[in-house]
Amino acid sequence: MSKVWLLVLAAVCHGISSNGVVTNSSTRPDVVNVGAILSYKSIIGKVAKVAIEAAVEDVNSDPTVLPGTKIELTMQDSNYSGFLSIVEALKFMEKDTVAIIGPQQSVTAHIISHIANELQVPLLSYSATDPTLSSLQFPFFVRTAQNDLYQMAAIADLVNYYGWREVIAIYVDDDHGRNGIAALGDKLAEKRCRISYKAPMSPDPTRDEITDLLVKVALMESRIVVLHTYAGPGPVVLNVAQYLGMMGTGYVWIATNWLTTLLDTNAPLDSDAMDDFQGVITLRMYAPDSELKRKFVSRWNNLTSGKSTNGSFGLSSYGLYAYDTVWLLAHAIDAFFNQGGIISFSNDSRLTELHGGSLNLGAMSIFNGGNLLLQNILQVNMTGVTGPIKFNSDRNFIYPAFEVINVIDTALRRIGYWSNYSGLSVLPPEMLYAKPPNRSSESQRLYPVIWPGQTTERPRGWIFPNNGRHLNIGVPKRVSYREFVSQIEGTDLFKGYCIDVFTAALNFLPYAVPYKLVPFGDGINNPSSSELVHLITTGVYDAAIGDIAIITNRTKIVDFTQPYVESGLVVVAPVRRLNSNAWAFLRPFTPMMWGVTAIFFLIVGAVVWILEHRINDEFRGPPKKQVVTVLWFSLSTLFFSHKENTVSTLGRLVLIIWLFVVLIIVSSYTASLTSILTVQKLSSSVKGIESLIDSKDPIGYQQNSYARNYLVEELGIHESRLVPLNMPEDFAEALKKGPRGGGVAAVVDERAYVDLFLSTRCEFSIVGQEFTKAGWGFAFPRDSPLAIDMSTAILRLSENGDIERIHDKWLTRSACTSQSTTFEVDRLQLKSFWGLFLICGLACLLALIVYFILMVRQFSRHYSDDFESSSRSSGSKSFQTFLTFVDEKEEEVKNRSKRRQMEKASNRSVGEDESTNSSKRRYTESCSSKSLDRCEEA
């Protein structure tokens, strides 16, 4: 702020004066004073001057806008000087200026905006595109063109669309350049891209300064260059780049809209000048085609006739926005008057209190209606030559859009559009506004581009710079499992499986990679791969190759290639061979399984006996015979050779279910026993990682392996149980000793190491399943393009079989690992069959319940009289009677029941005869005591 006011005071000292009184005008004055600050001879200024003058003339001649009031425009030429722009802005305050169009440059706009805030005079700039000018710090600054924030978003989408990840930014080191590139960095970060190198230059650089800057850029890895500058130094930069060979194949130049402004204004350029721009991609602020635009474009030649000594000049997009700025201001002033606004000015009391020398600070007056006019400016909703004009909440135009231009020969070829609504498209933005926004990668599209060097093949975007520097690639200096990677003694060379895969992948790349392998480790212990990967992030190494596992913590800081080895964690334990013996037939089932099966044989036999005993003669007889029958029937069902027939429905139901259970059990037993007797088995007390977690035995792991952190952090195994081991011999010795002899119960290591370890040690084996999924890859810095190309090369190696051939060369399997042996599978347990036993048990229980109900009903029906006659008898006697009834054969019960029914019938007939004779005797005796006549009548 102090620098701003020093400039203000300096300007006042150059003769600014005022009477210092408050001035007022009528509600609708005849004239409204508007100022404009621009550089007449600049590329933007000469176009804007003509456009602004034409707009003022059109507004003043249109009776529908500002009726009865004319805009009195005062233009001042800043002549490329920021200081003069400030002086001209202060001069406007003498003439009761209500608004200022300009300034032209963002740098000047930052300073004059402080004055506009103090004096409440709106600034309307059609060319100051610095994104930070839209901040809350400058409420009276109104941008009437597209914000550079959106231009940088378009460039970021271009970079992402073509699959690049790093760019180099060349820019003018002022507010316009710095803030624009800062916005570009933010937009690139949203796409996981970045600016790898920033190359600032002075606003007015010499050719030598530009040459020195481009030489530094040429030494960089990235070949995507974003040039954000002005129309003055921009062509010089491209000319020097052409001279240095930086406009050839492999380079990509993206210029901001300064290039289209230059070409649109000065077209046609001579062929020598156009040669410097070939293949460049640039942007142009988009104005949709309309009747208003076509009319204004057709007038342009007449408007520019005689305006320049060099003849007429072209119309750039800045001219269109300058023209609309005047119309926008006119509509806002008209609304201001319609709302009762009054043009009045008053002195700033803080300035009038200052005294000293000949400074007349009272010349700077405050526009009392400035806030109201500003609100009306931001609420304008109109259609101009640039299309719909309306501000959003951020004081930027709605629907920001740009044309994407490719410079070819002497023409500008439009390859598409960019809009903040739908991104990149070959369709005009206004055609997409009626559709839902779609920013998916599939919807992004541009027409083909002719790149620098007259090629249509998309540049890779980076190369290894020709600065004599090699890639420093870290390689672990292993002391064990040297088949994977090892340093040749006395040399700087390395060999091994990983090294051969790396060199084979390099041969598939379409470019040379200068590199140097640097050993990492002390040669005594195996180095930590995590430390090696971390050194990439600090810049010690440019990459790392070797047996480096791809795990989560490492992928957060570096990029890995496609895995070339699949290698998860496994458990290795001592094993013993299980040979067939005299009791091998008992091995298929666990003791619990044998016991439950035997019990069910007896249960089913007993249930069938109960259900068949009363009706089937084969299940009757002396107790000894019945016991033998039950046992024989039960065991014979195992071979489906039972000779006893079942008669009852319930018995047959139980037997069918039981035979199905027996079929499953016998089939499973046969399959398991066949495997035991025909295939050699391995057995171990450790069954897998689960059994290790549940036990308290020590566990070995390879020193500096990620297995340790996984066991502790992921599986919760206490550190005290973990034993670091270095060499394969240490593994073997610790496993042989076992936990009781000071060794370990098992070793947890990566599958690739374990396969090599077991190739010559048959007394150990992998137990359980591989409990993590990982792989080995080559590590590169984040977003390194070399990682992507190497991944593609590794896939090609895998497809053509080269990786398998390299594997066979270094990691040949011995006969030990190819033996026809399998690890002992778990014995068949009860949990595998409990469902079958449950169904069978429920069937038996249900059959017994139904049978019991039927017996009770039958018993109660046959012995109902006995119960009535012996109702006072004891319950134990009734129960004994029921048991006797159940034990009786059903035919006997039925016969006895028939006899009882016949006896009851005969007894009933005898009783009826006796009753008839008795009634006759009583009647005769009665008549004897009466007269004979009455008896006859009766």
Q: Ranked by mean pLDDT, which of 21-25, 409-413, 867-871 comes out on top?
A: 409-413
Lowest mean pLDDT among 148-162, 164-178, 266-280, 399-413: 266-280
Q: Which numeric CATH code is attached to 31-144+292-389?
A: 3.40.50.2300
CA-to-CA dists, residue 27 to 98, 442, 532, angstroms = 14, 57, 77
In sequence order, what DSSP letters do the residues of 866-897 get, joined into one string?
HHHHTTTS-HHHHHHHHHHHHHS-HHHHHHHH
CA-to-CA dists, residue 776 to 555, 562, 710, angstroms = 12, 8, 16
Does the pLDDT at position 819 exceed 50?
no
Per-residue confidence (pLDDT) for residue 19, from 0 to 100: 36
Contacts of 821 (CB under 8 A, 6+ apart): 577, 679, 680, 681, 682
Question: What are the residue ranges spanned by the domains of the chain?
Answer: 31-144+292-389, 148-285+400-443, 471-567+776-811, 584-678, 682-773
- Whether residue 147 contacts residue 396, with contact meaning beta carbons closer than 8 Å, is answered with yes
Per-residue confidence (pLDDT) for residue 70, from 0 to 100: 94
Per-residue confidence (pLDDT) for residue 931, from 0 to 100: 44
Per-residue confidence (pLDDT) for residue 170, from 0 to 100: 98
Per-residue confidence (pLDDT) for residue 236, from 0 to 100: 96
Lowest mean pLDDT among 302-311, 590-599, 777-786, 864-873: 864-873
User: 456 by DSSP, 3-state: which?
Assistant: coil
Lowest mean pLDDT among 55-59, 201-205, 408-412: 408-412
Name the band, by pLDDT with cuts 50, 70 and 90, for residue 6: very low
Distance, in Å, from the CA atom of 744 to the CA atom of 722, rounded to the nearest integer, reads: 9
Q: Which residue is associated with the tokens 């930014």?
A: 169
Q: What is the architecture of the domain spanning 682-773?
A: 3-Layer(aba) Sandwich (3.40)
Does the pLDDT at position 824 exceed 70?
no
Same-fold call for 31-144+292-389 versus 148-285+400-443: yes
- Whether residue 748 contacts residue 700, with contact meaning beta carbons closer than 8 Å, is answered with yes
The mean pLDDT of 655-671, rounded to a whole number, is: 82
Indicate the fold that domain 471-567+776-811 takes in CATH: D-Maltodextrin-Binding Protein; domain 2 (3.40.190)
Distance, in Å, from the CA atom of 121 to the CA atom of 365, rounded to the nearest integer, reads: 10
- Which homologous superfamily is 148-285+400-443 in? Response regulator (3.40.50.2300)
Q: What is the pTM of this model?
A: 0.70
> What value does the mean pLDDT of the chain take?
83
CA-to-CA dists, residue 611 to 676, 838, 847, angstroms = 40, 20, 8
The mean pLDDT of 646-653, rounded to a whole number, is: 77
Beta bridge partners of 558: 781
The mean pLDDT of 80-105, rounded to a whole number, is: 79
- pLDDT by residue (tens digit) across 124-151? 999 999 999 988 999 999 999 999 999 9
